[in-house]
Amino acid sequence: MQNHSLHRWGSPFTILGLVSTKKAPQNTLPAGAGLAPHSAAAAAPQASSHRSSHTDTAAAACGTTRYPLSTQPHGCLNSPLLASLADFDESKPPSAELLEALKEFAGIPAEASAPDSLAILAFLYMCLAISAKYGDVPSADIVVWSELPTGAGLGSSAAYAVCLAAALLRACGAISCPLKDGETTARWTEEEMTLINSWAFQGERVIHGNPSGVDNAVATWGGALRYQSGKIKSLKRVPTLRILLTNTKVPRSTKVLVVGVKEKILKFPAIMNPVLDSIDAISQECQSVLEAMPANPSPEYYPVLEELFDINQHHLNVIGVGHPSLDRLCRVTASHGLHSKLTGAGGGGCGITLLRPDTTLLAVEAAKRDLCACGFECWETDIGAPGVTLHSSSSLNAQVLHALSES
């Protein structure tokens, strides 16, 4: 049995109600077995939670952040919990009883909600459910290495879930090893990616309860996606956009923020519903601009996107998901002639800043310096990366190889 690594590409962010992914730091997860000596990369989605929860249209794009995962096989996993998953139904969320049993099995406190506890819970659920459905997943030591901050609106949980799904499905033989001799990267078939995505969604259900499915879909397929009325469709033409990603380091809970938006809609329906309709229109306008840009990459499109960024950010403040840290981020970048908005659920977390093609390195560095002086953390990246991809081990960079070897 050989060792393998899986990488998850990109982390998602919201562009005007459209979901996109940006380049973020890297993550590693050694797990499972049955893979050949390669790594897989998946794209991380980042949608506006409120856009996809309360409006009709959203779009998402994939960035270039990796989520590396490697495997060290040991044997086969036997657990009495497998019996409870024998009649697993993918159409239903994990039952509260099963999750409580998994928490007890793993020694996780009943009320635990920390990211590491949820990550362990998602892994156990996916591993046992996949074993029950497709056959034994070889047991393994699991090591996760990540520079991608959690709870910041970057789709880190979706990146994690896509990595796990691809690794576990490959380990038990439910999906193939598409990498041929001499190749450095390969993609799974559409049917196999659909399977990866469906299991990643189950992992997201464990972590978030009732996710939209946008984040795991972007992480799986990459590129850009349109989410409308519960249906997800790939956008065929998406330009590469330069983005400055800023983490305010203000923690927030997506669940709490989504509940807050729902309460405001119920309290002021005549006010809030038109705002949500406007956000929907912004998403559709942004999609039209993005799809037109590759065919006609005129600089005139960027002022339109910048204005849509500004309008969208104001709308998000109206529905109650802004935060003083995000307002400060927008003011700082505006002082450098740049336009920003929140990404993910808001309430802190991260924001994105659009960088025009003619934005100079000097201007970007000046903006980053001022943002860092606020206590924020910044990365320059772009969007439009591929989704889940299998890589040969030789294609891994030195940082990832070192992290995996040290584990």
Average pLDDT over residues 237-259: 86
> Under 8 Å CB-to-CB from 401, ≥6 apart: which residues?
393
pLDDT digits (tens, 9 = 90+) for 314-371: 999 999 999 999 999 999 999 999 999 998 889 999 999 999 989 999 999 999 999 9
Say yes or no to pLDDT of 195 above 90: yes
The pLDDT value given to residue 64:
52
Residue 192 carries which side chain, given as an amino acid letter? E
- CA 259 → CA 12, 19, 53, 136, distances in Å? 21, 20, 10, 39
Q: What is the pLDDT of residues 41-92, one digit of tens each?
A: 444 444 444 544 554 555 555 655 555 555 555 555 555 565 555 555 666 7
pLDDT for 250 beyond 90 = yes
3-state secondary structure the chain: CCCEEECCCCEEEEECCEEEEECCCCEECCCCCCCCCEEEECCCCCCCHHHHHHCCEEEEECECCCCCEEEEEEEECCCCHHHHCCCCCCCCCCCHHHHHHHHHHHCCCCCCCCHHHHHHHHHHHHHHHHHHHHCCCEEEECCCEECCCCCCCCCHHHHHHHHHHHHHHHHCCCCCCCCCCCCCEECCCHHHHHHHHHHHHHHHHHHHCCCCCHHHHHHHHECEEEEECCEEEEECCCCCCEEEEEECCCCCCHHHHHHHHHHHHHHCHHHHHHHHHHHHHHHHHHHHHHHHCCCCCCCCHHHHHHHHHHHHHHHHHHCCCCCHHHHHHHHHHHCCCCEEEECCCCCCCEEEEEECCCCCHHHHHHHHHHHHHCCCEEEEEEECCECCEEEEHHHCCHHHHHHHHHC
> Looking at the predicted structure, is the pLDDT value of residue 32 above 70?
no
Spatial separation of the C-alpha atoms in residues 83 and 105, rounded to whole Å = 14
Q: Which domains, and CATH codes, for the chain?
A: 4-236+385-406 (3.30.230.10), 242-382 (3.30.70.890)
Which pLDDT value is given to residue 344? 83
pLDDT at 133 (0 to 100): 87
- Supply the pLDDT for residue 26: 34
**Could you report the per-residue pLDDT of 116-127, keeping only the tens digit for each?**
899 999 999 998
pTM: 0.75
Report the alpha-carbon distance of residue 131 to residue 172 in Å, rounded: 7
How much is the pLDDT for 372?
98
Task: Assess whether pLDDT exceeds 80 at residue 28.
Answer: no
The answer, yes or no, to whether residue 385 has pLDDT greater than 50, is yes
Confidence of residue 30 (pLDDT cuts 50, 70, 90): very low
* pLDDT for position 72: 54
| Other residues' Cβ atoms within 10 Å of the Cβ of residue 280 | 18
CA-angle at 21, arms to 314 and 399, nearest 5°: 130
pLDDT at 381: 85
Rounded distance between C-alpha atoms, residue 146 and residue 139, angstroms: 22
Q: Please list the active-site residues.
A: 157, 215
**Mean pLDDT along residues 290-317:** 89
Higher pLDDT, 182 or 27: 182
Residue 12 pLDDT: 40
Give the model's confidence band at 154: pLDDT under 50 very low, under 70 low, under 90 confident, else very high. Answer: confident
| Sheet containing 4-6, strands listed edge to edge, beginning at the edge strand earlier in sequence | 4-6, 69-76, 138-141
Higher per-residue confidence, 50 vs 160? 160
